[in-house]
Structure 1
Amino acid sequence: MAVFTPVTLDDIGQWIQQFPLGKALTIKGIASGIENSNFFLTTERGEYVLTIFENLSFEQLPFYLRLMDHLAARGVLVPAPVATNTGELLASLHGKPAAIVSKLEGRSQMDPQPVHCAAVGAMLARMHLAGQDYPLQQPNLRGLAWWNETTPQVLPYLSDESAHLLRAEMHFQQAFAGCETYRQLQQGPVHADLFRNNVMFDGERLTGFFDFYFAGCDTWLFDVAVTVNDWCINLDTGVLDTPRVRAMLDAYHAVRPFTAAEQEAWQPMLRAAALRFWLSRLYDFYQPREAEMLTPHDPTHFERILRERIATPAPGLY
């Protein structure tokens, strides 16, 4: 959520008229994140988030925006996209796709306790179930195919030790993705990026999931692993905090019980989730794009997590 495409009030004075939101009053860039240009937007009708998509196309974006609509209609707490006066969810701004969504209440919980992890686990399970009948299909664009494409681009920058780890883990994950247990895992739309800064709380009350622009169709277990690897760890070491892990997994399991295949795949999937973000952070760090307010994330964070997941078995799903 950096700013690659600056936008001023003058830029959107006429543009905003195609939405039923009244006059734009203020606009402020959002500094966090690294994929799209995001802004807090205040209009005569309330507070919203404006996103300009830097990589996703007009053809790809309906998957994400309609998914948010689909989930919201089924009681999942997500931002609601705002349609234009002609019913479109996308509009062109500075030659790029742009969308406006409602702004969630509360703030991100950056020091989560078991109660917060339980709320996230339960809502994530409800989200997975609610997406079962979503009709659009799109693969996880940061899945195995992207890992295979990206690995040779980042290997030249790594130390011998880190390069050995990356090659070995890619070999492990390619074999895992081809095994019978993996084929038995339940699949559907996933958020795929449900970090602490993509969830809002008002005290202990979860008010919503947002930033669905890495969503795609993948195994539900991958979504759980991504979430556990951020919400349930010591950020300095990557070590899992068992009370938080148990709170999240037990709350999820109470809504959507885990399967025997998922239990068998749990340890490899935690490694897969760590690898995905190690690779993306390596790519963003060594192949940066220019942007206002952009600070790439430290790749070594997820390298530590991956090493820890390989070395230390995590608590089971149930």
Structure 2
Amino acid sequence: MAVFTPVTLNDLNSWIDQFPLGKALAIKGIASGIENSNFFITTETGEYVLTIFENLSFEQLPFYLKLMRHLADHGVLVPAPVANADGELVVALHGKPASIVSKLEGSSQMEPQASHCAEVGRMLARMHLAGKDFPLHQKNLRALDWWHATTPKVLPFISDELQHLLRAEVHFQDAFDSTPVYRALPRGPIHADLFRNNVMFVGERLTGFFDFYFAGCDTWIFDVAVTVNDWCINITTGELDIVRVLAMLNAYHEVRPFSKEEAIAWQPMLRAAALRFWLSRLYDYYQPRDAEMLTPHDPAHFERILRLRESLPVPPLPENL
């Protein structure tokens, strides 16, 4: 993540003694993404990840951290949050909410094959089912309401053609959101940001999903669409790789079969997933925040993906094969 709030080893050692982790031995900022300040830390008991939350509040954070704990307790591979001596998962650091979670084994697979996509699809379905009885509720904070609030903030910076594309897609999603099909979609807690860099592998073995700080309650098929739009594409053109798409969808379907409503919603949700990340990248590109290690992403990538999902047919969900 971009480092908005620097933390030194001395800062860390004056704070970490409230956790059962021993003395901090090393800290290193993580320079990818643009939302929170993340650090790898090494202590006398092992390796962990420290996150300082730049946008989320103390009141919002229990949802994410308790969700991770709930999923871990149900056999989903996710980082385990560490509580302090008072049992708190969120503690102030430099006046901002912060947490520590276990570090996952392995590394991100940035050139996934069909076997990797199948592993991700299978674990994503397990995650959705495991979250069905999670007692807390928080809506997806980057869904339709956020699209409406953010669109006017980026329109002055983009061409007339792009303004038309953005307005038209938001209008389409508004209309689809009001349909009986959309209202019937299965839903619950979702990751909402399950890109290649948020999953760890050792070889072809998936070792965990992480970075749950965009999670919220939304339709499961939207979560699948977000994942397919990153894992199953030609990264240069945005075109779907059919082999990888089918590997992910079939593996997911074996664990949690898709519904008939999800089959109808599939292409609209691929469009919605592309819109969500195009809009967020536009906002981060044109309205950047100060950061020590800021790496904004190119908005044109998801513009291309949105145009492709609008204009070309997509592989159907397994129940239609």
Aligned-partner Cα distance in 1 for 2:96–2:171: 38
Aligned-partner Cα distance in 1 for 2:114–2:265: 24
SS in 1 for 2:51: strand
Q: Aligned pair 1:143/2:140, yes or no?
A: no
Aligned-partner Cα distance in 2 for 1:12–1:246: 45
Q: Aligned pair 1:5/2:5, yes or no?
A: yes
> Map of 1:1-318 to 2, 5 A cutoff?
1-318=1-318
Moved >6 Å (runs of 4+): none
- What is the identity percentage for the equivalent residue pairs of Structure 1 and Structure 2? 77
Relative to the length of structure 1, the TM-score reads 1.00
Aligned-partner Cα distance in 2 for 1:173–1:278: 14
Aligned-partner Cα distance in 2 for 1:141–1:149: 11
How far apart are residue 160 of structure 1 and its match? 1.1
Residue type of the partner of 1:64? Y
Q: Which runs of 5+ in 1 are unaligned?
A: none
Aligned-partner Cα distance in 2 for 1:210–1:264: 30
Residue type of the partner of 1:94? H
String of CA shifts for 1:75-122, please: whole Å, max 9, x gaps.
Answer: 000000000011110110000000000000000000000000000000
Aligned-partner Cα distance in 1 for 2:313–2:38: 38
Q: Which runs of 5+ in 2 are unaligned?
A: none
SS in 1 for 2:218: strand
How far apart are residue 10 of structure 1 and its match? 0.7
How far apart are residue 277 of structure 1 and its match? 0.2
SS in 1 for 2:132: coil
How far apart are residue 60 of structure 1 and its match? 0.2
How far apart are residue 246 of structure 1 and its match? 0.1
String of CA shifts for 1:20-49, please: whole Å, max 9, x gaps.
Answer: 000000000000010000000000000000
How far apart are residue 135 of structure 1 and its match? 0.2
Aligned-partner Cα distance in 1 for 2:236–2:14: 47
Aligned-partner Cα distance in 2 for 1:61–1:86: 17
Residue type of the partner of 1:235? I
String of CA shifts for 1:210-252, please: whole Å, max 9, x gaps.
Answer: 0000000000000000000000000111100000000000000
How far apart are residue 12 of structure 1 and its match? 1.5
Aligned-partner Cα distance in 2 for 1:117–1:108: 13
Relative to the length of structure 2, the TM-score reads 0.99
String of CA shifts for 1:246-282, please: whole Å, max 9, x gaps.
Answer: 0000000000000000000000000000000000000
Aligned-partner Cα distance in 2 for 1:142–1:167: 17
Aligned-partner Cα distance in 1 for 2:49–2:284: 24
How far apart are residue 161 of structure 1 and its match? 1.0
Tell me how many residue pairs correspond in the alignment: 318
Residue type of the partner of 2:94? H
SS in 2 for 1:14: helix
SS in 2 for 1:38: strand
Please provide the CA RMSD for this pair.
Answer: 0.4
How far apart are residue 207 of structure 1 and its match? 0.1
Aligned-partner Cα distance in 1 for 2:62–2:256: 27
Residue type of the partner of 1:252? Y
SS in 1 for 2:133: coil
How far apart are residue 13 of structure 1 and its match? 1.4
